[in-house]
Amino acid sequence: MTTSPLVRVEMRERTAVLLIDNPPVNTGNLAQRAALHDALGALPGDVDGVVIASAGAHFYAGSDLREFDRELISPQLPEVIERIEGLPVPVVAAVTGLALGGGLELALGCDARIADASAGFAFPEVTFGMLPGAGGTVRAPRLIGLPATIDLVTSARRVGADEAVSLGLVDAVVPAERLIDEAVAYVRTHPECSPARERDIPPATSEEIDAALAAVPERARPNVHQAGRQVVEGAGKDNATALAEERALFHHLRLGTESVNLRYLFFAKQDAAKALRSKEKPRPIRSVGIIGAGTMGSALARTFVRRGVPVTVVDTNADALARLDDAVTGATSIDALSDADLVIEAVFEDMAVKQDLLRAVEPVLLADATIASNTSYLDLDEMGSVLVRPQRFAGLHFFNPPDRNPLVEVVWAATTDDATAATLGKIVATLGKAGIPAGTGDGFVGNRVYSDYRTQVEFLVEEGAGPEQVDAACLDLGLAIGPFAVADMSGLDIAWARRKRLAPTRPPEQRYVEIADRLCEAGRLGRKTGAGWYRYPEGSKRGEADPEVAALIDKCRAEKGIQARKIGGEEIRRRVLGAMAAGAAIVVRDGVARTASDVDVALTEGFAFPKALGGPLRALSRHANGELIALLAEVYASDPAGYAVLEPAARGEVPVDVATLMREVAPTA
């Protein structure tokens, strides 16, 4: 019998065992589907059953998303599953490792599912803007009922072997070394075929079904709600109709802008992760030291401990140490760091403080320890210049709150060597974070581009928009929270201190809006002081527009002779995107950011820019040239000195640095 390298067929007497062998994770792609389809079509006439299993660690960890931007080529997964269901003998899936998306649907197409303890099942499709498209919404309900299917399909959560058994998704869990033997035995003891599609859906009340649908967060993307509804609607129809409708919706969503953008971001993150790997071997990190038990240091310690990495935190302030989690060791002396393989400093954002600390700490550390700074803005070359071995030093820029914010910038100083970069890249991967490489430069990548956005929204307020109007326009763009509400949440004093620090070097011709300074001078530092851009009366959950702020804004406008004009939501959205493009053009041009897609990763992962848009640059790349030029010209006009990089737009051309970004991120399909 024919054996393709992607599917090996082994006969156990009259039972055919089909071993999918598509390393590293048995991703379903055209070649693998074709091999499986062929193998199923070429079974000997006298087989008494079939086992579908994996030759590797995972049953089938999802479909190859690279195929999803184009028409899918036959045999598509539903055709493979149809062939399984058409066999006159029982077919059993033997699941080890992950069965995700198409992998789970393939297992659902079999007559039974046997798993080992390593098995994990999920429908991750909604996170890519789609829904299961190979019968998942039709077959799963017949095994586990409608409420549980709605939950799995809409939450994308992963279910382990034991839960899979109790749900009814899996028939038995057996020891890993006996998985295939048990599956073969199952075939023989269950000679009758029992495809999921022919079973009745276990009963559920309409209240239970409604509760499962209502558990989908209201803010979830439309495809998530559609996926939940499709499960219910399909249940009311015959199988063929339900499968056809599910497939049609799957194709529609798959080729829609949101899904294409989400896949773009998935590959952008993979690409950034690849760039963080190096030819050099990372040094092992057995324990971590953190200096500074403040906002960042304490949460960072939690992040490491959660991943099983022991942490010692040093702070000169014993009160700060007292607030640490139990699992973290606290110390007041840097001598406690003598065994640490990696030390991250998260002390005050002050060059002299950080340099003094680095000078003092280096002699205490192991000779090959890696030293990282969590600085947000400071010059790492200058900071590291006090070290004897600056090659082991780099930036590791976490974002607040570091235990929840996925973004980390690995910032290479001029002296950082490859082994240090590789070590930090490995740490980012160990923590499960979304890392991007960055070079030194004020604010690195994320904060730099975000600050262009912040500056632009203040221009908009100075010209006539209210803070609440700008925030609302940004929510319409898809942001979860507007920039003024964010500023109030994080506190206005940090940015104020930075503006004061940069004041001496700010070119006098650059536009500067004083409103935020005036708010700070009035003691309005945001939520923590009960007032900032909004006011926060006792007990109120949300900020309220404040007439005092409106009056202060009017006063600032009057001082500059600015006549407030009506500004629409469209203009606000155009200008914030254009401003971010200006910042991105500069960081990519100057080599602070590696690529435009890294900027999109930074803004979507670190700053909650809507992933459905693929990031600000991807969103802009969908504009026709004329529109793009007009939008950039508008931003340029708001501050010709500050946005010099956009000057060609005023002459009707796409600025060359922006064109570079657009070429890189524009959709190809």
CB of 497 to ligand NAD, least distance (A): 10
Considering the rule CB under 6 A, would residue 292 count as an interface residue with ligand NAD?
A: yes
Cβ proximity to ligand NAD: between 248 and 502 the closer is 502
CB of 603 to ligand NAD, least distance (A): 16
Residue 342, strand partner residues: 288, 370
Taking a C-beta distance cutoff of 8 angstroms, is the pair 329, 313 a contact? yes
Cβ proximity to ligand NAD: between 376 and 469 the closer is 376
Cβ neighbour number for residue 77 with a 10 Å cutoff: 24
CB of 444 to ligand NAD, least distance (A): 10
Residues of this chain, 337-376, that bind ligand NAD according to CB under 6 A: 346-349, 353, 357, 374-376
Number of residues that bind ligand NAD (CB under 6 A): 24
CB of 374 to ligand NAD, least distance (A): 4
Cβ proximity to ligand NAD: between 226 and 400 the closer is 400
Cβ proximity to ligand NAD: between 317 and 510 the closer is 317
Residue 192 tokens read as 């009758």
Which member of 90, 120, 136, 297 binds ligand NAD (CB under 6 A)?
Answer: 297
Residues of this chain, 312-331, that bind ligand NAD according to CB under 6 A: 314-317, 320
CB of 331 to ligand NAD, least distance (A): 10
CB of 639 to ligand NAD, least distance (A): 26
Angle subtended at Cα 431 by Cα 427 and Cα 433, rounded to the nearest 5 degrees: 100
Cis previous bond, 24, omega within 30: yes
Q: Which stretch binds ligand NAD (CB under 6 A): 200-208, 397-405, 437-445, 581-589?
A: 397-405
Cβ proximity to ligand NAD: between 169 and 383 the closer is 383
Which member of 293, 383, 394, 473 binds ligand NAD (CB under 6 A)?
Answer: 293
Cβ proximity to ligand NAD: between 273 and 337 the closer is 337
Residue 333, strand partner residues: none
Rounded Cα distance, 480 and 469, in Å: 15
CB of 441 to ligand NAD, least distance (A): 15
CB of 488 to ligand NAD, least distance (A): 14
Taking a C-beta distance cutoff of 8 angstroms, is the pair 391, 416 a contact? yes
Taking a C-beta distance cutoff of 8 angstroms, is the pair 31, 19 a contact? no
Residue 237 tokens read as 């129809």
Considering the rule CB under 6 A, would residue 606 count as an interface residue with ligand NAD?
A: no
Residues of this chain, 2-31, that bind ligand NAD according to CB under 6 A: none
Collapsing DSSP to helix, strand or coil, 249 comes out as helix
Task: Supply the DSSP string of 16-46, one letter for each residue.
Answer: EEEEE--TTTT-B-HHHHHHHHHHHHT--TT
Cβ proximity to ligand NAD: between 502 and 551 the closer is 502
Collapsing DSSP to helix, strand or coil, 398 comes out as strand
CB of 410 to ligand NAD, least distance (A): 14
Q: Among positive and negative, which fits the CA dihedral 359, 361, 364, 368?
A: negative
Considering the rule CB under 6 A, would residue 303 count as an interface residue with ligand NAD?
A: no
Query: Of 460, 441, 314, 452, whose CA–CA distance to 380 is shortest?
Result: 441
Considering the rule CB under 6 A, would residue 291 count as an interface residue with ligand NAD?
A: yes
CB of 400 to ligand NAD, least distance (A): 3
Collapsing DSSP to helix, strand or coil, 251 comes out as helix
Task: Supply the DSSP string of 295-364, one letter for each residue.
Answer: HHHHHHHHHHHHTT--EEEE-S-HHHHHTS-TTSEEESSGGGGTT-SEEEE---S-HHHHHHHHHHHGGG
Cβ proximity to ligand NAD: between 293 and 635 the closer is 293
CB of 351 to ligand NAD, least distance (A): 10
Q: Among positive and negative, which fits the CA dihedral 594, 598, 600, 605?
A: negative
Residues 6+ apart with CB under 8 A from 209: 146, 147, 150, 232
Cβ proximity to ligand NAD: between 103 and 297 the closer is 297
CB closest to ligand NAD, residue no: 294
Q: Which stretch binds ligand NAD (CB under 6 A): 106-114, 392-400, 560-568, 599-607?
A: 392-400
Q: Which stretch binds ligand NAD (CB under 6 A): 54-62, 265-273, 289-297, 413-421?
A: 289-297
Cβ proximity to ligand NAD: between 96 and 374 the closer is 374
Query: Of 602, 605, 578, 592, whose CA–CA distance to 662 is shortest?
Result: 578
Residues of this chain, 104-143, that bind ligand NAD according to CB under 6 A: none
Rounded Cα distance, 669 and 666, in Å: 9
Cβ proximity to ligand NAD: between 316 and 391 the closer is 316
Residue 344 tokens read as 């991250």
Rounded Cα distance, 354 and 168, in Å: 57
Residue 7, strand partner residues: 4, 20
Cβ proximity to ligand NAD: between 385 and 660 the closer is 385
Residues found near ligand NAD in the complex (CB under 6 A):
291-297, 314-317, 320, 346-349, 353, 357, 374-376, 398-400
